Every structure is written in C-alpha cells, then in structure tokens.
C-alpha cells in the first residue's frame, strides 16, 4: 500500500487541506511534517467548515491516526485551542498524536518574529508573525525546547533558565523591550505539558507499524515548494522544507518508503507576503480573481496576490519534488474569464529562459511570456466526470499537464469532497 506525500507545488494555499481530507478517507495514518501554525488548511466536509493550523486534515476520517511530526514547530496554546474547537464540534481527537521530537514555539519566538520584521522595515518578509522563523532558528542553533522536554519539569526548568536568559539579553539589549519572566513561562509551559501529555509520544514506531500492516499513509505538506528555504524565492521563504524531501525528515520516515508524490497546484497562482511572483496581476483581472475566489489568507486574513498559472515555476516544482501526479484545484474560479493565460517562459532583453532562476533579483527583472487559451465561461462546479468538462477546460488541463510534465490525477472544482473529478488513478 502506498505512502503518498501531498505537497504544495506553488506558494502555499493550493488546497492541500481539501485534498488531504478527501484522500484520508482511505488512509490509516496522516502526518503533518513541516511548518507550524503559519499554515491554514481549510476543510469543508459533512462535519462543517474548519481551518486547521496544526492538526492534520485527516482528523475527520474516523479510522485515521493523525500525527504532528517531528518537523513541525508547535505553539501549544494554538494546538490546545484547535483540539478544544474540534472537541466542541464533536470531531474525535483521540487519534491525534504529537512527536516527542517536535520543537515548541515559545513566547520569545513570537515576539522576535514581530521585532525582526519591524527591523527589516522596507525589506520585511511578510511573515505570518507566528514565531516560525525564530523557532526553526533555535532548532538549528540547538537552543530549542521540544515537546518531549515537557514531561520532565526539572529538565524543562533547567533548559528554560538558560534559554530565557539568552533571549532576554537579545530582547532588552538589542530591541529595548521588556524581558520575559522565567517563572511565568515555566508555569505556563508546565500547564501545556500536562494538557498535551496524553498526545505526546515516539511516533516513528506508529508509522512503521502502519507500513508493516500495509496501510495507506498520507504525508500532509504545509506551505509550498516556492517557499522552501533552499529552492524557493530565498530570502522570501519560510523556514522549514515543504518539499517531498522534507516529508521524510519531518515525518520520520525513510526515503525509500514514499511511493507517490502528489503535487497540489492551483489552476492559477497566489502568494501572500513579500517576494517575487512573476505572473502577479496588479490590475482588475487580479482583483477579479481575488474577489471571485475570496483569496484572503486563512491564517492572517491578508489579501493574497493573484496571477496567471506559472508553468516555469510549476515545472521546476515537479522536478525538485518528483511529482508522480498533480491535483489541480480551484479550476471553477476561472469559469468567468473569457481568456486565460499561462506563463511558459521568462524574458529579459530579448532572451527567453524556461528554467526558474535561483536569484530573486533575476526573478524581479524577468517578464513573463504568455500563451493564451480560450476560457469556458460556464459553471463547472457540479461536474464530476472529466469528459463532461467543457472542451476549453479540458484543453486548459491538457496544456497544464504537458507543461508541468506529470499526469493530472485529480481536478478540484469546488471546496467540498464531492466537487472532485478523478482523471487518472493516484495509485
């Protein structure tokens, strides 16, 4: 049985939550493997509408064990609130587990995320200010505190005493803000530890057991490939790897086990926060897409920048991740548009390139080269068979398939589970 990684193929918000919720109905385990509560995964299903930041989107599937993997940074207050919100709405959270190796977001991480952004002024990254960058910085600097540390109060106090001293020096001497109280943070995190204790454990064994039983495992990506710190538009990226490669590390799974890699692409492009986006539309078409699609951030509410499908970036995404198939989401949003454009190259001084450059300065200078296709101008949200899509929609999908160089497995034409067209089998 396959292990399927579901990966954001653009700048995040591609509709990963919808796809994972859909596929999780057949899965035994669903693991979130990267990011933190910078993610906002919308799920609309018979239980209602949910915006999940940390809990895997498989939580609605009655048989799926859901794991927050070691690669996720966890703000315990956000997680506890998310658990309680689900409990209130009668969604069973007893199948939720948290890796004891996952790092915690601490109050100084959230503070520093905001202060660092202020300091960057005109060069701000547009982070979600959830403390993600500072938490991953501490992980690499070996200053992190992990969920497993919460179970031993003495270890926690000793570790926290050292780290808070260090952070308070930065807060007071560099940023001139008030220091944090060791006592308060310690007491607060002891409470979190008590509340989360039933969920925290060694989770890689659970994965191994599921694989031994030959069950379907889903690896739920957060963010998107072009936000990857190595292959995204650095420095305008996030701080952990949303890639298929990151899935192995962040879930605690050996790389030979992943059998399918599903790239989730929006039928156009969006981006929240700063950084280059070659196909961004700063005109009325961009605004029309934003309003039609209600493109506002799930986590921060910020308006998303909207633009045409960028096949140069998409092909790069396929290559870096090794997509075995694609899910194209929000095709229905394009219903109203008479003409559609796809970016097939980048142009500068009469020269056209077809690869995605590593430098943001270069990306800023390039102009997109577009191919135009006719729109279908008819509603498609209720269509369930590929053959029933208007010819123009099929042409659009066929062209995307060709350009991104992997088969389209499914097409999403609405936010609910049944608004999905299965084109070719995922496995």
* Residues in contact with ligand GDP by the rule CB under 6 A: 8, 12-18, 40-42, 44, 298, 329-330, 332-333, 412-415
Closest CA to 262 of 7, 28, 15: 7
Closest CA to 305 of 233, 378, 411: 233
* Residue whose CB is less far from Mg ion, 53 or 103: 53
Residue labelled with tokens 């292990």: 3
Q: What are the strands of the beta sheet with 420-422, ordered from one edge?
A: 200-201, 96-99, 65-68, 29-32, 217-220, 3-8, 260-266, 325-329, 408-412, 420-422
41 is catalytic: yes
Partner touching 74 among Mg ion, ligand GDP, ligand IMO, none, CB below 5 to 8 Å by kind: none
**Closest residue (Cβ) to ligand IMO?**
273
Q: Tell me the pairing of strands 217-220 and 260-266.
A: unpaired
Query: Which two three-digit tokens encode residue 334?
Result: 């394009």
Query: Which two three-digit tokens encode residue 357?
Result: 């450059």
Residues 19-48 that bind ligand IMO (CB under 6 A): 35, 38-41
Partner touching 273 among ligand IMO, ligand GDP, Mg ion, none, CB below 5 to 8 Å by kind: ligand IMO
CA dihedral 197→202→208→211, nearest 10 degrees, is 20
82 binds Mg ion (CB under 5 A): no
Partner touching 125 among ligand GDP, Mg ion, ligand IMO, none, CB below 5 to 8 Å by kind: ligand IMO
CB atoms within 10 A of CB 4: 27
Residues 9-28 that bind Mg ion (CB under 5 A): 13
134 binds ligand IMO (CB under 6 A): no
Catalytic residue among 13, 37, 138, 149: 13
Residues 21-80 that bind Mg ion (CB under 5 A): 40
Residues in contact with ligand IMO, total (CB under 6 A)?
A: 24
Backbone angles phi, psi at 379, to 5 degrees: -65, 135
22/60 Cα distance (integer angstroms): 10
328 binds ligand IMO (CB under 6 A): no
Residues 197-226 that bind ligand IMO (CB under 6 A): 222-224
238/240 Cα distance (integer angstroms): 6
Backbone angles phi, psi at 169, to 5 degrees: -60, -45
18 binds ligand IMO (CB under 6 A): no
Partner touching 203 among ligand IMO, Mg ion, ligand GDP, none, CB below 5 to 8 Å by kind: none
Contacting ligand IMO (CB under 6 A), which of 273, 276, 368, 414? 273
Catalytic residue among 21, 37, 41, 332: 41
138 binds Mg ion (CB under 5 A): no
CB 377 within 8 A of CB 335: yes
Q: Measured between alpha carbons, how far is residue 82 from residues 86, 287, 295 in Å?
A: 6, 32, 23
Binding string, residues 224-253; x marks residues near ligand IMO by CB under 6 A: x--x----------xx--------------
53 is catalytic: no
Binding string, residues 291-330; x marks residues near Mg ion by CB under 5 A: -------x--------------------------------
* Residue whose CB is less far from ligand IMO, 53 or 423: 53
Residues 285-314 that bind ligand IMO (CB under 6 A): 298
215/209 Cα distance (integer angstroms): 9
* Residue whose CB is less far from ligand IMO, 12 or 263: 12
Q: What is the CA angle 66-60-262, rounded to 5?
A: 65
56 binds ligand IMO (CB under 6 A): no
Q: Measured between alpha carbons, how far is residue 199 from residues 131, 148, 203 in Å?
A: 23, 11, 10
Q: Measured between alpha carbons, how far is residue 121 from residues 114, 178, 234, 300 in Å?
A: 11, 21, 17, 19
Residues 205-264 that bind Mg ion (CB under 5 A): none
Partner touching 415 among ligand GDP, ligand IMO, Mg ion, none, CB below 5 to 8 Å by kind: ligand GDP
Q: Measured between alpha carbons, how far is residue 186 from residues 106, 160, 179 in Å?
A: 10, 7, 14
Give the interface with Mg ion as residue ranges (CB under 5 A). 13, 40, 298
Positions marked active-site = 13, 41
Give the interface with ligand IMO as residue ranges (CB under 6 A). 8, 12-13, 35, 38-41, 125-128, 130, 132-133, 222-224, 227, 238-239, 272-273, 298
């Amino acid at each position: 049985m396959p292990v399927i990684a579901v990966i954001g193929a653009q700048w995040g918000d591609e509709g990963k939550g919808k796809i994972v919720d859909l596929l999780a109905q057949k899965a035994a385990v669903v693991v979130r493997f990267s990011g933190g509560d910078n993610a906002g995964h919308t799920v609309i299903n018979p239980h209602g509408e949910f915006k999940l930041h940390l809990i895997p989107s498989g939580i609605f599937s009655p048989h799926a064990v859901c794991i927050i993997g070691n690669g996720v940074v966890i703000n315990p207050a956000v997680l506890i609130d998310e658990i309680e919100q689900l409990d209130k709405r009668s969604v069973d959270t007893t199948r939720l587990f948290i890796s004891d190796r996952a790092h915690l977001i601490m109050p100084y991480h959230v503070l520093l995320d905001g202060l660092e952004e202020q300091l960057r002024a005109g060069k701000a990254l547009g982070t979600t200010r959830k403390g993600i960058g500072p938490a991953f910085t501490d992980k690499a600097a070996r200053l992190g505190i992990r969920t497993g540390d919460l179970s031993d109060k003495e270890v926690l106090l000793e570790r926290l005493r050292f780290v808070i001293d260090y952070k308070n020096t930065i807060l007071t001497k560099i940023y001139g803000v008030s220091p944090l109280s060791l006592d308060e943070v310690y007491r607060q995190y002891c409470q979190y530890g008590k509340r989360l204790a039933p969920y925290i454990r060694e989770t890689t064994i659970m994965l191994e057991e599921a694989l031994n039983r030959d069950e379907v495992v889903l690896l739920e990506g957060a963010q998107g490939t072009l936000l990857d710190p190595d292959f995204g538009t650095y420095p305008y990226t996030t701080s952990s790897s949303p890639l298929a490669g990151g899935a192995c590390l962040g879930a605690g799974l050996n790389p030979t086990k992943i059998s399918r890699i599903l790239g989730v692409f929006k039928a156009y492009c969006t981006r929240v926060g700063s950084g280059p986006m070659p196909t961004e539309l700063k005109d009325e078409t961009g605004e029309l897409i934003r309003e039609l699609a209600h493109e506002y951030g799930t986590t921060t509410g910020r308006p998303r920048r909207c633009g045409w499908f960028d096949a140069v970036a998409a092909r790069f995404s396929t290559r870096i991740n090794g997509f075995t198939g694609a899910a194209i989401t929000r095709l229905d949003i394009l219903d109203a548009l008479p003409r559609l454009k796809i970016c097939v190259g980048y142009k500068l001084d009469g020269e056209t390139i077809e690869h995605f450059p590593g430098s943001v300065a270069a990306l800023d200078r390039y102009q997109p080269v577009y191919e135009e296709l006719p729109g279908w101008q008819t509603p498609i949200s209720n269509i369930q068979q590929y053959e029933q899509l208007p010819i123009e929609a099929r042409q659009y999908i066929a062209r995307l398939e060709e350009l991104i160089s992997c088969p389209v497995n499914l097409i999403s034409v609405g936010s609910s589970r049944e608004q999905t067209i299965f084109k070719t089998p995922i496995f």
